[in-house]
Structure 1
Amino acid sequence: MKCDLHCHSIYSFDSTQSVADVLERAKKAQIDVLALCDHNTVEGSLEAQLQNEIEIISGIEIDCFCKDTIIHLTAYGMDLNHPKLLELKSNYIKELDRVGSIRLKLVEDKYGCKLDENKIKGMTHGGYPYTNVEIEKVLLEDIEHPDLNIYKTGSKSNSPIANYFWDHLAIGKWGYVEMKLPHYKEIIELVHRLKGVVICAHPKVTIAQDLDLINELIESGIDGFEAYCSYHNQEDALFYKEICIKNDLCMTIGSDFHGSTKPNIQLGDTGYDGDCTRIVHDLKRRIQEKQR
């Protein structure tokens, strides 16, 4: 069995592929079980469940604060029609809208330029306001600056949008604008209340191997960690696999596919080459236990 338990469709503000395209790619990659985990919205997961060619596990990825960092929690098996999830999406869109113009001004000041805001707005989709993704695209297309060459033709051009974000717009960087996001404990409580399983996605990216944060998440009721993913090397994967085994937690695997926004990541690129039967079975078992 082959699975990808963390991928995105066009319902995510920073992804480019339709649900139909994601499903077609999954079939070509011979993926048996798929979970669409769009950012703070369940529309992709709901649409995917309308077909019956590939098994779908319902999912969502939720952005939230954990101390001084932002972590991403993937949740599986919830009631996707619950009003709380619509509220979650609405609040997230409001925050994207609020910080967009602030971030645009920071970028313009940094490079001493003026970006075409109408062009930026024209790149949005799905009812989302413009975000760092559209700002970065126009910046890299229209502005000549020596500091940008590494993202255009240099060593970071394989995934320029993601690389530029982590280098310049993430927490602690000059272009960071704080968003009002829920606290991770609220999200764990919400997912459990909606009878779902909650996993810390690509933890190496957000919490590295910080045992204090890991133990805090475990004590707060996290159900597991995404051990294998496109951002983890084998050392990272084995580290989180051992965390899951030691604490009887659920281990998941996922590519974090986003389409052309992250062109170096293909659907099914999880870093896990083994049979996924036990991984999928364990996730389903834990979902069933929540729903009893």
Structure 2
Amino acid sequence: MDDDWVRRGPIDLHAHSRESDGTDAPGDVVRAAAAAGLGVVALTDHDTVSGWQEAADAAMETGVALIPGVEFSSQIGPASVHVLGYLLDPVSAAFVGERERIRLERVERAERMVRAIGRDYPLTWRHVEEHSAPGATIGRPHIADALVTLGIVPDRSAAFEGILHWQGGYYQPHHAPHPVDAIRIIADAGGVAVLAHPAARGRPVMRMGVLGELVDAGLDGVEIWHRDNDARSQRELLVDAERLGLLVTGSSDYHGSGKPNVLGEHTTEPAVLAEIVRRATGFAPVVPAP
């Protein structure tokens, strides 16, 4: 396959569906990408690949090329670190095992948080389930949506800044691998690993100075053009990316109506996507005929 398709239109390499914490069906994410004028979109739900087939069908329908991916939850101490894995083998044994472990831990953690919140607010597990798609991994965004529906908070952002904040009194720890392990799992599955919004949540990765360690583990790139990375962090990340030989991506982190992020608000250069595809051996992009 030649790589002319990477230049069909803007490229957004980070979007979520209701299979994790977005609000749109996987196919509707791709249709929204087409409506936004994108040429390529990546579906990167948290710790699941369950939306890939529906998104692929919509890609063939709309003409938007699809990069199947996943956003791996990982952790350094108390700091959450997300790693995007593109074009990895979805049935790789290590990936499947870790994905299931994370999924179970996320659900158990959500149940603990709901029980704690329910002691002070009229929130039940049933309310939370009503805000998730069948089979989706339930997490804090679904709890936030239930709190909004119940009128306890005005929107998701308020929920995360208050009740669901790690200092809000209801936060519960959960299992997540170290990002080094997440990167190795992605690499072993033939995927390409890109560090997601590394300056978000108080710049934990930059503050801890672990980028070099992640590169040694097989990190391919860093998502710099993202609304959660401030201008200063972007400048510092660009220096680090050049020093460490990392690919630089840009993405919206679209969640439908769950977040204000707009498809295509940040994009990736075609040459970078072409290199991602060249490095990947686990899965192929879905490229409709022109």
Normalised by the size of structure 2, how large is the TM-score?
A: 0.82
Q: 1-side partners of 2:78 and 2:111: how far apart?
A: 23
Q: Does 1:125 align with 2:123?
A: no
Give unmatched runs, 5+ long, in structure 1: 153-159
Match of 1:267 among 263, 270, 273: 263
Match of 1:10 among 11, 18, 23: 18
Supply the AA of the counterpart residue of 1:25: A
Q: 2-side partners of 1:58 and 1:142: how far apart?
A: 34
Counterpart in the other structure of 1:135: 143
Specify whether residues 138 and 206 from structure 1 end up closer, same or farther in structure 2 by C-alpha distance, changes over 3 A only: closer
SS at structure 2 position matched to 1:179: coil
1:199–1:224 Cα contact (<8 Å) kept: yes
Q: Does 1:277 align with 2:270?
A: yes
SS at structure 1 position matched to 2:88: coil
Aligned-CA RMSD value: 2.7
Q: 1-side partners of 2:67 and 2:138: how far apart?
A: 30
- Per the TM alignment, residue 213 of structure 1 is displaced from its structure 2 partner at its CA by 2.6
Specify whether residues 212 and 290 from structure 1 end up closer, same or farther in structure 2 by C-alpha distance, changes over 3 A only: farther
SS at structure 1 position matched to 2:209: helix
Specify whether residues 26 and 167 from structure 1 end up closer, same or farther in structure 2 by C-alpha distance, changes over 3 A only: same
Match of 2:98 among 85, 88, 94: 88
- Per the TM alignment, residue 197 of structure 1 is displaced from its structure 2 partner at its CA by 1.2
Q: 1-side partners of 2:208 and 2:174: how far apart?
A: 26
Q: 1-side partners of 2:239 and 2:279: how far apart?
A: 18
Q: 2-side partners of 1:83 and 1:34: how far apart?
A: 26
- Per the TM alignment, residue 207 of structure 1 is displaced from its structure 2 partner at its CA by 6.1
Q: 2-side partners of 1:60 and 1:289: how far apart?
A: 13
Could you list the per-position Cα deviations for residues 14-52 of structure 1 after superposition, in whole angstroms to 9, with x for gaps in the alignment?
111012211111111111111111110112234323433
Larger relative CO (CA 8 A, sep 6+): 1 or 2? 2
Supply the AA of the counterpart residue of 2:14: H
1:33–1:54 Cα contact (<8 Å) kept: yes
Write out the 4+ residue segments of structure 1 that deviate beyond 6 Å after TM superposition: 288-291
Supply the AA of the counterpart residue of 1:59: G
Higher mean C-alpha displacement, 207-216 vs 66-75: 207-216
Q: 2-side partners of 1:249 and 1:21: how far apart?
A: 32
1:35–1:45 Cα contact (<8 Å) kept: no
- Per the TM alignment, residue 132 of structure 1 is displaced from its structure 2 partner at its CA by 2.6
Match of 2:42 among 32, 35, 60: 35
SS at structure 2 position matched to 1:204: coil
Q: Does 1:204 align with 2:199?
A: yes
- Per the TM alignment, residue 100 of structure 1 is displaced from its structure 2 partner at its CA by 2.3
Counterpart in the other structure of 1:192: 187
Identity percentage of aligned residues: 23
- Per the TM alignment, residue 123 of structure 1 is displaced from its structure 2 partner at its CA by 2.6
SS at structure 2 position matched to 1:202: coil
SS at structure 1 position matched to 2:73: strand
Aligned residues: 271
Q: 2-side partners of 1:195 and 1:187: how far apart?
A: 13
Question: After the TM superposition, which residues 101-120 of structure 1 pair with which residues of structure 2 at under 5 Å, given as runs?
Answer: 101-109=111-119, 112-120=120-128
1:121–1:129 Cα contact (<8 Å) kept: no
Normalised by the size of structure 1, how large is the TM-score?
A: 0.81
Higher mean C-alpha displacement, 113-122 vs 24-33: 113-122
Q: Does 1:169 align with 2:164?
A: yes
Q: Does 1:217 align with 2:214?
A: yes
Specify whether residues 210 and 22 from structure 1 end up closer, same or farther in structure 2 by C-alpha distance, changes over 3 A only: same
Q: 2-side partners of 1:57 and 1:142: how far apart?
A: 36
Q: 2-side partners of 1:10 and 1:124: how far apart?
A: 7
- Per the TM alignment, residue 234 of structure 1 is displaced from its structure 2 partner at its CA by 3.3
Q: Does 1:73 align with 2:71?
A: no
- Per the TM alignment, residue 143 of structure 1 is displaced from its structure 2 partner at its CA by 5.0
